[in-house]
Every structure is written in C-alpha cells, then in structure tokens.
Amino acid sequence: MSLPNQLPFNSYQANGASTVFTFEFYLISVDDLQVSIDGQRIDSGFSVIDVGKVTGGSVIFLTPPTAGRVVMLERVVPAYRSTDYQDNGDLLADTLNKDFDRLWMALQHISLYLDLTLQRPLLSGPFNAQHYRIINGADPIDEQDFATKHYIDQVALAQTLRVPEKNVSLLPLAKERANKLLAFDTGGQPIVILPDKGTAADVLLELEKETGAGKVGALTPDKDKTTTQQALDNLADRASEMEKSIGDITGGIGEWNSTVDYEMNEIVRIGLSLYIAKRKNSQSRPLSSKTSINDWCPLLLNDPITVTVPTLFDTLTQAVTYFDKTTATQPVTIVINGSIADKNIQVTNSALRQLIIRGGEIQLGTDNGIIAKGSGVNVEVNNVKYIGAGPTAGGDKWTNTAVANFAMDGAAMILKSVTTTKVYYGAQAARAFLSAEYSSFLSGGDAGVLAFDGGQIYLKRCESNQCYDAAHGLGYGYVAEAGGSIWLQNCSSTLNVIAGLFANIGGHIRDDDGRHSGNVRACKVCAGSNIEMMGSQMNNSNTTNAEVLGGALSAWNTQFNGSKEGNGMYVTGGGVVHLHNCSTNSNKAYGIISEGLSSVKLYSSHTASGNKAGPCLPATFQQLGENGGWISN
C-alpha cells in the first residue's frame, strides 16, 4: 500500500473533561508519535491505541488536560535507517514498504517545517514573514542590517530631537526654508521666520521667490509656484477681460426696481446675483415667471438658487441651457415636478459650481438623458426616474446614444437614489468620473452600468438587473472595458442574459460584498482585463458562475456555488485565477475547469464539494489538464 498524503499533526483545545484525542495519520511505530501540551513535550500519562492503522488512532490521557490548554499530536520520524538488508537475505515486501514509508514520513515532516520558514521567490523578490514577528535579533552593525526595536528606542531615537505629541507638522520646502530660522507657532508647530536683522530688502526677496504669491493671498491656481509679480500680472489680465466683457453695457449696475423700464444689456442686481436684460423695456422680475426667462439672462449667481420644471421652465433642457451661460459660485438646483418628456440634456459650463437636478420623472424615448461633459463640470442627480422606449432602442456606446446618465471628457457626475428603466445604458462614464449610491438600473440593453475609454465609476448599494438586447444578444449588469474601471460596494445584479459583471479589453472591476445571483453568468473576464472580489456571492447562474477567457480573476472569501447547468468556474485561453478561501460547491458540472494554457491557484481552505461531475478538471491538483490547463493548491 502506498503512503497516503496526510497532514502529520492534529491539535486540539482541551475542555477539561475529554481524555481521548484522535490522530488522523498513519503511524508505523508508537515511538514516532510526539505528544505535547502548550508546546511542552510529555512522555507519560497517556496510552496510544490503533498504531499501524492508515486512518490513524487515539491518544488516551489518564487525567483530562486542563481546559484551554492546546494538545498537539505530531508524527516525528527520526532521520535515520534502522533496517540493515543482508547479502542473499530475505527481501520482504512488508519490511521494504515500511522502510520506504518511514523515509517519506520523515520527508513529509521536514516539508511541513520548511513551509514555516522565512522564504523568498526562487529567482528574485524579498523574504516574506507573512505578518509574523521575528524575535531575538541582534542589533545592526553594517549599513544594510535590519534595526531591532532596542536599537531604534535606545540608540536611533535617543539621538533625535523629539516631541511628546504623537505627530508634528512637516517643515516647509527647502526653497521656503532657505536663509531663515526655525521657530514654532502658537500651536507648537514648526515654522520658519526671517532673522531679526530682516530688512525691507529681505521682504522683497521673499515676494520675488516662486512661492511669493502665497504670502499675499493671490488667487492663482498654484500659489506655491507663482511669484508675487506673476500674481499681479494675472490680476491685471483678469481685470482687462472683465472690462472688455462689460464694455457694451449701457448703464450702471443697480438694485432691482419694478417701476423702471430697463435698456437692452442693462444689468440689475437682486441680492448678490446679477442679471442682464435681453431686450429693451424689460420689467419682468428675473426667474419669477416664464416671461422673465425670455427677458433676462443670468450673468452672475452668488446665492444658492432653486427653480422648477415645468412651472418656470417648460423643459429641463431649457432650464439647463439658461444656467449654462452663467457663472455661479453657489449650487443651482432644478426640481422636476411630475413627469416630463425631454432628451439630450447637456451640461457643459464649468463656471457652474454645481448643478443639482432633483425629483420627478423623465421620459427619454430612444435618446440620451443628462450628459455632463467637460473638465470642471459637476452634476448631481437626486431621486430622478428615467423611462426609455425599450432596452433595444438603438443604443450604442461608441456613438453615445440611449444613455440615461453620461459623464464624459473630465466631468464629474453623482447619482443618488436614481432609477433607470428600459434605456440602453443606465449610467456611463468615458474619460470622466461617475458615482452612484442607492440607485437601480433596470431592464437595460447592452448594460445597466458601463465604464469605458478610461472612465471611472464608483457604486455603493446599487442594483443592475434584467439587461437584454434581443437584437444583438447582449445584456450585462456592470461592464468595464477599453481601460474603464468600476468599483462596487454592496451592489447586486440578477437576470442579466450574459453576465452580472463583465471586464473586457483592458477593463477592471473590483467587487466588495456583492450579490450576483440568477444571471446567465455571474461574471465574465476576457483578455487583458481583470476582476477582483472580496466577500462576494457569484451563485446560482444559469450556466457557469465565472468565466475567465484569457483575463485574470482574484477572489477572497467568495462563493461560486450552485450553477444550474455548468461549472463553478471555467478558465481558458491563458486565463489566470487566484482564489483565497473561496468555494465552488454544488454545481451541475465541475467546481473548476482549467484548460487552454490557463492557471488556477487555490489558497487557504478552498472547497469544491457536491459538484455533480467532480471538484475540478484536471481531476487531481498539481496536474496538467486538457490542453495544458493547470490547477494547484
């Protein structure tokens, strides 16, 4: 009989009552069993039964070990040979087998302890202590020696100027410290000051430095890289531009007066906000009625403002266009009352501090919804519902059509409690950032959410369900491709006809605590893309739960269970998978299939049980499978 591959030790925590402790490994001799309690070896006070059984035996203590103490049963085979074969003597199979078994038992014991040593990769890379302490080290001597805590505390820090607080601010940059003295402000934080002999010339030298603008409160993009003279020149340029822009104004700027007939291009002020007359004899109060929209144009809004659609503006597009010509230092809020029909609502003005669109329902038909475009554009959509004409209504990501929420070209878009249904894409980002929380993307076409062309999307507690384009056979919950990336936290997907998650053409998805069940596939990764998962559930798919087709997938504490017609995971085309403490259980076919020059690495306590066809293909670990697939643990 060959020697089984068994773990050569068992450990238990005593309860103060039990006297019988089992060992689940093969022993040839009772002398090969080492018994210890809390790391201290004991040689008496117990008996051993069932020595010689392949499945193991038991240790029976005369007195129960004290509760809480750790009982260790370990097979320790000494590295020497006791059998001496004689010339022309008997060569019995039993004796020979036991001799070889002892040899392999000793090697298994050595291998067990080798795995616990400080190790590094074979060809290159650092040693890895795997988060364990290293004790009893000597103090450093040479430059590249590691420093002990004793050396740091008693030598290094003893020669360092210290403070009792936990931290202290950094000193300024060298160019700011030059020719100055170290001092401390009223909070005890370090600053640099001019010497007592400082003169007006010293002050002028400071203002002339690259950091001079920061000392006079200059309004420049980077005060740390601007001299005072450059800041003054910038201020003069801005004043000149302002003079040109108001050169055609016929009168001065006065407070609103309802009895006055205003001239065209005349400016009035209400509170801190400025409006310019669009035609002569305009007495309509700005933003008080639909007439005032035609009479006045906002010039400068320094107060927060809220308007309604369709009460004041007929459509959302009309309201956005009105404020898209404005410089606003405070948020502008547009409230949608009831349901409106609108489309292609573009926000492009970066001079708006923030545009907030809130409430109501937008009927999109086959067109786009709200589009935020351009660097500096900041749009928030709150509690809005979008309804399209159907998930197959002419959508295409490359022509930017049939998108409910679209951030592009440097814009930032925030969705809160938003719902989209029957549109081709619920949310999309390209070369821009979009975030959403507590939002639902339902009955989409190609995808509920799409990040592509460098777009970045962050989602929290969102769902993307029932996506299906019957004309093209598409339908994904969340898609990242062409350099796009998505980070999901506590999100879900279900009933999508291709996959819940899809990474393609260099896309990246991270999924934390996701629930992606009941899709045709829970996730799919293609060439050059990757998906990371932490604590996710990728279960109960119609086919395979996870498909890795040349891409990479890493998962921690994640389930790939209960595939109805396929595998827990299928890896091919050079795909690479790392699974840490994951499960591929109760699937219709295999737990894991690896083929086509692919690699699957299992860490920690991975389980693959209850699969109808078997735990994996290849059938055993550390073995090349069909077409060069590899699975190892």
- Provide the pLDDT for residue 283: 85
Question: 484 vs 94, 481, 514, CA distance in Å?
Answer: 64, 5, 19
Q: What does the block give as tokens for 629?
A: 């697939």
Of 185-189, 281-285, 396-400, 461-465, least confident by mean pLDDT is: 396-400
- Boundary residue ending a domain (114, 143, 177): 114
- Provide the pLDDT for residue 591: 94
Q: Is residue 218 part of a domain?
A: yes
Q: How far apart are CA 33 and CA 23, in angstroms?
A: 9
User: Is the per-residue pLDDT at 25 higher than 80?
Assistant: yes
User: Is the per-residue pLDDT at 97 higher than 60?
Assistant: yes
Q: What contacts 22, CB < 8 A, 6 or more positions away?
A: 10, 56, 57, 58, 59
**114-140 confidence digits (pLDDT tens):** 767 777 777 777 878 777 888 888 888
User: Mean pLDDT throughout 12-24?
Assistant: 94
Q: How far apart are CA 452 and CA 468, in angstroms?
A: 19
Q: What does the block give as tokens for 61?
A: 């203590």
Terminal C-alpha separation, the chain: 25
What is the extent of the structural domain holding 41?
Answer: 9-114
Q: Is residue 392 part of a domain?
A: no
Q: How far apart are CA 472 and CA 611, in angstroms?
A: 33
CA atoms lying within 13 Å on the CB side of residue 91? 3
Nearest to 435 by CA among 512, 475, 487: 487
The conformation of residue 404, written as its DSSP 8-state character, comes to E
Nearest to 101 by CA among 206, 1, 251, 242: 1
Q: Is residue 439 part of a domain?
A: no
Q: How far apart are CA 601 and CA 578, in angstroms?
A: 5
What single string gives the DSSP state of each residue in 584-620? --S-SSEEEEE-SS-EEEEESS-B--S-SSEEEESSS
- Boundary residue ending a domain (91, 114, 137): 114
User: Is the per-residue pLDDT at 230 higher than 80?
Assistant: no
Q: Do 527 and 629 have their domain in common?
A: yes
Q: Phi first, then psi: give them for residue 36, nearest 5 degrees.
A: -140, 155
- Provide the pLDDT for residue 173: 82
Q: Do 110 and 173 have their domain in common?
A: no
Q: Do 90 and 173 have their domain in common?
A: no
CB 625 within 8 A of CB 617: yes
User: Mean pLDDT throughout 321-341?
Assistant: 92
Q: How many residues does the chain have?
A: 633
Q: What is the dihedral of CA 192, 196, 201, 203, to 10 degrees?
A: 30
Q: Do 110 and 180 have their domain in common?
A: no
User: Is the per-residue pLDDT at 243 higher than 50?
Assistant: no
Q: Is residue 45 part of a domain?
A: yes
Residue 373's Cβ-count burial label (10 Å; 0-12, 13-18, 19+) is: buried
Q: Do 102 and 13 have their domain in common?
A: yes
User: Is the per-residue pLDDT at 87 higher than 80?
Assistant: no
User: Is the per-residue pLDDT at 623 higher than 60?
Assistant: no
Q: Do 208 and 108 have their domain in common?
A: no
Residue 555's Cβ-count burial label (10 Å; 0-12, 13-18, 19+) is: buried
| Cβ neighbours around 47 below 10 Å, total | 11
User: Is the per-residue pLDDT at 223 higher than 60?
Assistant: no
The conformation of residue 522, written as its DSSP 8-state character, comes to S
Question: 460 vs 13, 76, 275, 471, 489, CA distance in Å?
Answer: 42, 52, 40, 31, 5
Q: What does the block give as tokens for 37?
A: 């309690």
Q: Is residue 390 part of a domain?
A: no
Which of 75-89, 210-224, 362-376 is predicted most confidently? 362-376
Q: What contacts 259, CB < 8 A, 6 or more positions away?
A: none
Q: Is residue 4 part of a domain?
A: no
Q: Do 526 and 633 have their domain in common?
A: yes
CB 118 within 8 A of CB 133: no
Q: Is residue 181 part of a domain?
A: yes
Residues facing residue 440 across a β-bridge: 419, 463
User: Is the per-residue pLDDT at 439 higher than 90?
Assistant: yes
Q: Do 95 and 184 have their domain in common?
A: no
- Provide the pLDDT for residue 182: 83
Residues facing residue 483 across a β-bridge: none
- Boundary residue ending a domain (52, 86, 114): 114
Q: How far apart are CA 260 and CA 99, in angstroms?
A: 113
Q: Is residue 145 part of a domain?
A: no
User: Is the per-residue pLDDT at 606 higher than 60?
Assistant: yes
Q: How far apart are CA 575 and CA 317, in angstroms?
A: 47
Please count the structural domains in the chain.
Answer: 3
**Percentage of the chain modeled with pLDDT above 70:** 87
Q: Do 104 and 189 have their domain in common?
A: no
- Residue labelled with tokens 């040109």: 244
- Provide the pLDDT for residue 246: 46
Q: What does the block give as tokens for 9?
A: 């030790």
- Provide the pLDDT for residue 196: 63
Of 253-267, 334-348, 609-623, least confident by mean pLDDT is: 609-623
CB 403 within 8 A of CB 367: no
- Provide the pLDDT for residue 398: 46
Q: Do 110 and 46 have their domain in common?
A: yes
User: Is the per-residue pLDDT at 249 higher than 50?
Assistant: no
User: Mean pLDDT throughout 422-429?
Assistant: 93
Question: 63 vs 3, 40, 60, 577, CA distance in Å?
Answer: 33, 16, 9, 49
